[in-house]
């Protein structure tokens, strides 16, 4: 592509052409309900991908599978060129054990709709707990990194506060700092502003824009904030009934969606003020 046609959020090439996250014919069922239907998709290292679509289309299930909060019904997930949902056994694969998953998910951070902070711990303790106890980071190093991250999210003066002393937007920014404290290769964002009052949304999205601009973390995001999706994404995927209905560069997806389902969804979301 000529330099004059390059966008800041054009999809980067993976190192050596190898994708970081790969869903290979993934099926997820809850009882008789098929939430993901033989899903194939991949994410390159450093790529920021946003998943959009109506409730129940499978978006959050994808994040929960990558976070190992759910297990695949069929198919396989690969991360970093290695099996993730399964582990090698003999000449084939078997569903991953909890210890295998625990070792593999250290490189993955997730920010949830709800903040999930420990109310009895200070902001500092919330952020350093996992690096110290899971990664074995020295406490002094973890403290220094926590201070840097709180400065990044605009809460450097709240390091010794407790979550109950913070607004919802401040708590969500602490949750972002906590996820980043694990130095993740992959950051999962699940409707991170949906539980916030409208006036607090912009501050949290600004923090995530800063993370996108200043790091090479691979981001997989579910959101109804379409302006945010347009700003930070290299690629947008429209989901419907557990499958990808359409995908493309945000300029194309938001300005000239080709699929009827995408057109109807975006019209509905944008008319509701997003």
pLDDT digits (tens, 9 = 90+) for 41-92: 999 999 999 999 998 899 999 999 999 999 999 999 999 999 999 999 988 8
Grouping H, G, I as helix, E, B as strand and the rest as coil, residue 114 is coil
- Look at the alpha carbons of 242, 78, 252, 184 in this order and tell me if their dihedral is positive or negative: positive
**How far from 118 is each of 140, 144, 171, CA to CA, in Å?**
21, 20, 11
Predicted local distance difference test score (pLDDT) of residue 9: 52
Grouping H, G, I as helix, E, B as strand and the rest as coil, residue 156 is helix
d(CA 166, CA 124): 13
Predicted local distance difference test score (pLDDT) of residue 114: 84
pLDDT digits (tens, 9 = 90+) for 17-43: 489 999 999 999 999 999 999 999 999
Grouping H, G, I as helix, E, B as strand and the rest as coil, residue 37 is strand
In the predicted structure, residue 16 carries a pLDDT above the cut 50? no
In the predicted structure, residue 6 carries a pLDDT above the cut 80? no
pLDDT digits (tens, 9 = 90+) for 152-172: 999 999 999 999 999 999 999
Give me the chain's average pLDDT, please.
Answer: 89
Strand partners, 108: 186
DSSP state of 165: G
pLDDT digits (tens, 9 = 90+) for 130-150: 999 999 999 999 999 999 999
pLDDT band at 13 (very low <50, low <70, confident <90, very high): very low
pLDDT digits (tens, 9 = 90+) for 93-105: 999 999 999 999 9
> Tokens 């569903």 map to which residue?
95
Predicted local distance difference test score (pLDDT) of residue 2: 38
Domain 3-17+45-67+103-271: CATH architecture, name and number where available: 3-Layer(aba) Sandwich (3.40)
Predicted local distance difference test score (pLDDT) of residue 14: 44
In the predicted structure, residue 7 carries a pLDDT above the cut 50? no
pTM over 0.75: yes
In the predicted structure, residue 11 carries a pLDDT above the cut 60? no
Could you tell me the residue ranges of all domains in the chain? 3-17+45-67+103-271
d(CA 181, CA 148): 10
């Amino acid at each position: 592509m000529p330099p004059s046609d390059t966008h800041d959020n054009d999809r980067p090439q993976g190192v050596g052409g190898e994708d970081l996250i790969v869903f290979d014919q993934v099926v997820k069922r809850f009882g008789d309900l098929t939430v993901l239907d033989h899903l194939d998709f991949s994410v390159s290292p450093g790529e920021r991908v946003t998943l959009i679509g109506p409730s129940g289309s499978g978006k959050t299930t994808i994040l929960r599978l990558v976070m190992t909060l759910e297990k695949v019904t069929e198919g396989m997930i690969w991360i970093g060129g290695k099996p993730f949902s399964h582990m090698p056994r003999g000449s084939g694969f078997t569903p991953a054990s909890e210890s295998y998953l625990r070792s593999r998910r250290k490189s993955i951070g997730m920010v949830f709709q709800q903040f999930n902070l420990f109310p009895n711990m200070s902001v500092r303790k919330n952020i350093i707990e996992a690096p110290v106890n899971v990664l074995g980071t020295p406490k002094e190093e973890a403290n220094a990194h926590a201070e840097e991250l709180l400065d990044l999210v605009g809460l450097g003066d709240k390091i010794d506060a407790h979550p109950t002393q913070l607004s919802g937007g401040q708590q969500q920014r602490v949750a972002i700092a906590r996820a980043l404290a694990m130095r993740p290769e992959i950051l999962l964002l699940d409707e991170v502003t949906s539980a916030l009052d409208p006036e607090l949304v912009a501050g949290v999205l600004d923090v995530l824009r800063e993370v996108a601009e200043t790091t090479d973390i691979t981001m997989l995001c579910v959101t109804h904030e379409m302006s945010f999706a347009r700003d930070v994404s290299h690629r947008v995927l429209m989901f419907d009934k557990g499958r990808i209905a359409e995908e493309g560069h945000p300029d194309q997806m938001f300005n000239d969606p080709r699929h009827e389902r995408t057109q109807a969804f975006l019209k509905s979301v944008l008319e509701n003020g997003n």
